[in-house]
Chains A and B, each alone.
Chain A
Amino acid sequence: MTWETMMGLEVHLQLATESKIFSGSSTQFGAPPNVQADAVDLGMPGMLPVLNEEAVRFAVKFGLGIGARIGRRSIFDRKNYFYPDLPKGYQISQFFSPIVCEGVFEVPMEDGSLLPIRITRAHLEEDAGKSVHDIFNQESGIDLNRAGTPLLEIVTEPDFRSAEQAVAYLKALHSLVTYLGISDGNMAEGSMRCDINISLRRTGSDVLGTRTEIKNVNSFRFVERAIHSEVERQSDILDSGGSITQETRLYDAERDETRSMRSKEVANDYRYFPEPDLLPIEIDEAYIDAVRASLPELPAAKRTRFVSEYELSDYDAALLVPDHATAAFFEEVVSLGGAAKPAANWILGDLSGALNRADLTIESSPVSAEALAGLIGRIEDGTLSSKLAKQVFDGLWQGEGATDEIIAKRGLKQVSDTGALAQLVDDVIAANPDQVAQYLAADEAKQKKLSGFFVGQIMKASQGQANPKLLNELLIKKLNDQS
């Protein structure tokens, strides 16, 4: 039996506001427990929520970013459940009238195609606190610093058919929200958490199977692995004639398997009802226009522009654009005179390699955009061969100064002086009569191979500084002159 995988994703995105959604507490990550939780966050009796205007603006930005309909009158509801990290006994969320309504998000796939994913809705809600189970023996510890952090929950239709599509969507979403500046998208710190709804159906059937939900997967890699393992589990059950139980599961990365969350076995019954402590939010055309006018250039538009304006390949543009800082770095290099194609190559090649090895982001790159532009300039004007350029890059990385200083200090100037090169070529030819004879006796294809020996010797003699193009021309001419 073959099965088709049907998946929908729910992403909980922490919005990058300074203060919480309903209180004036800080949202900063990493503070000691409970120092950023006030009486509102703790759900003390009589406390009233007051909505943060920036959270509303961020939600509208997201909606406009994916071309979704904005809910003109959106309403908060209470989602009722008991858990120690939710002191009020309900989460303030939006159920009936979300702030962002249906839209379509076009996800760029690796092969260059666009995968349209239907967004069902995105709504504002408050995050819960954190339960800590491993510090205390008999009890669980509760830290409410995160309680009340604004979340945007982004829900899709079941439009994903593979793990690859799901991961591409998450990466594109990550890129979009960081461009919009509405979230830092830091998955390791929980700024972007993903729930995956998975069901299988017979290939060709239009009846949906029973689904399971995998909660709180927090890295691209784990999303991929969790999906693979859950699809395998479900198809094993179905193949052997069993049936799937609708339930919530957790992905255990250590064992690479999903398992049932027993504590949530009591069927979820959240008894949503309108939050009496908050009034409806009304959003008018003028507000939407103002937010729209504040939108930056978004990844899809930037990618198109990089291809048309800088004549980059779509492949290079697709690699440069997703990270906002990388795209900005590239444009800075170009604006400082660096040629576009080499700039893309250096950023995607040596620079990103070095940054990865040093575990640095491009914002803290030891090689500035200006330095890289200088280096590219010296390659373009023939001062540096690509081999020497790598040495200069190393010097830039080590902080040895600007390109010209490093060339002078390390003595890296490429020898493009025909007279000096000719001398080197003559010396090497004179010193290796046997190889010359061999070369002259060989056919053309073999000659090409044999000339490598001479190039190597001359490069060695020039300490790597001979201009390879000139050298080749001179060498072939002089070798042929020997016959």
Chain B
Amino acid sequence: MSISQEDVEKVALLARLAIAPSDLPEVTERFGRVLQLVNELNTIDTEGVAPMSNPHDMVQRLRPDVVTGGDEREALMASAPQQDRGYFLVPKVID
């Protein structure tokens, strides 16, 4: 299975990865090889096998609806590069 440079650029954009134009041919080539490897799984006959959503053969345990957390703002904000008046600050985003 091969992948085009445009596909790689699109995936990179979705993943917010910056790939230098000069690196694109090599990344595309290596990406394609990974896909080829994964593609071999398609040769396995999965007829009648239910899709697996999780490798553990268990069901979800639930927790009671109780508030256990308190105000941890100061500690959790300590590593934020920018903050003001209790808000995390990020570059301006406008819709």
In the complex, A56 Cα to B62 Cα: how many Å?
9
Q: Which residue of A lies closest to B65 (CB)?
A: A54
**Interface size bucket, A side?**
35 or more
Q: Are A279 and B60 in contact (CB under 8 A)?
A: yes
**Interface size bucket, B side?**
35 or more
Q: Which residues of B contact A42 (CB under 8 A)?
A: 76
Give the number of residue pairs across the A-B interface with Cβ within 8 Å.
134
Q: Are B85 and A139 in contact (CB under 8 A)?
A: no
Looking at B63, B65, B86, B93, which has the most chain A CB atoms within 10 Å of its CB? B65
Within 8 A of A (CB), among B49-95: 53-54, 56, 58-69, 71-73, 76-77, 82, 84-95
In the complex, A452 Cα to B68 Cα: how many Å?
72
Within 8 A of A (CB), among B27-69: 53-54, 56, 58-69
Q: Are B73 and A279 in contact (CB under 8 A)?
A: no
Q: Are A280 and B53 in contact (CB under 8 A)?
A: yes
Q: A43 to chain B: closest CB distance in Å?
A: 11
Among B64, B71, B87, B95, point to the contact of A53 (Cβ < 8 A). Answer: B64
Q: A18 to chain B: closest CB distance in Å?
A: 5
Q: Which residues of A contact B85 (CB under 8 A)?
A: 33, 135, 141
B1 at the interface (CB under 8 A from A): no
Among B16, B58, B64, B91, point to the contact of A279 (Cβ < 8 A). Answer: B58
Within 8 A of B (CB), among A74-116: 75, 80, 82-84, 97
If A75-B53, A84-B93, A279-B56 touch, whether A144 touches B88 (CB-CB below 8 Å) is yes
In the complex, A50 Cα to B62 Cα: how many Å?
7
Q: Which residue of A lies closest to B88 (CB)?
A: A142
**Contact flags (1/0) for A141-153 with B, using CB distance below 8 Å?**
1111000000000
Q: Are A261 and B95 in contact (CB under 8 A)?
A: yes
Q: Are A142 and B89 in contact (CB under 8 A)?
A: yes
Q: Are A36 and B69 in contact (CB under 8 A)?
A: yes
Q: Are B60 and A281 in contact (CB under 8 A)?
A: yes
Q: Are A131 and B93 in contact (CB under 8 A)?
A: yes
Q: Are B65 and A141 in contact (CB under 8 A)?
A: no
Q: B43 to chain A: closest CB distance in Å?
A: 22
Q: Which residues of B contact A278 (CB under 8 A)?
A: 54, 60
Q: Which residues of A contact B66 (CB under 8 A)?
A: 18-19, 24
**Contact flags (1/0) for A129-142 with B, using CB distance below 8 Å?**
00111011011111
B20 at the interface (CB under 8 A from A): no
Q: Which residues of B contact A280 (CB under 8 A)?
A: 53-54, 59-60
Q: Which residue of B lies closest to A17 (CB)?
A: B65
If A18-B66, A133-B94, A279-B60 touch, whether A142 touches B72 (CB-CB below 8 Å) is no
A276 at the interface (CB under 8 A from B): yes
Given A34-B88, A36-B71, 11 other A-B contacts at CB below 8 A?
A18-B65, A34-B76, A35-B71, A35-B86, A53-B63, A80-B14, A140-B91, A261-B95, A276-B54, A278-B60, A280-B53
A-B contact pairs, 5 of them (CB 8 A): A24-B63, A54-B64, A84-B88, A135-B87, A282-B60
Report B's interface with A, CB cutoff 8 A.
10, 13-14, 16, 53-54, 56, 58-69, 71-73, 76-77, 82, 84-95
Report A's interface with B, CB cutoff 8 A.
17-19, 23-26, 32-39, 42, 44, 50-56, 75, 80, 82-84, 97, 131-133, 135-136, 138-144, 250, 261-264, 266, 269, 271, 274, 276, 278-282
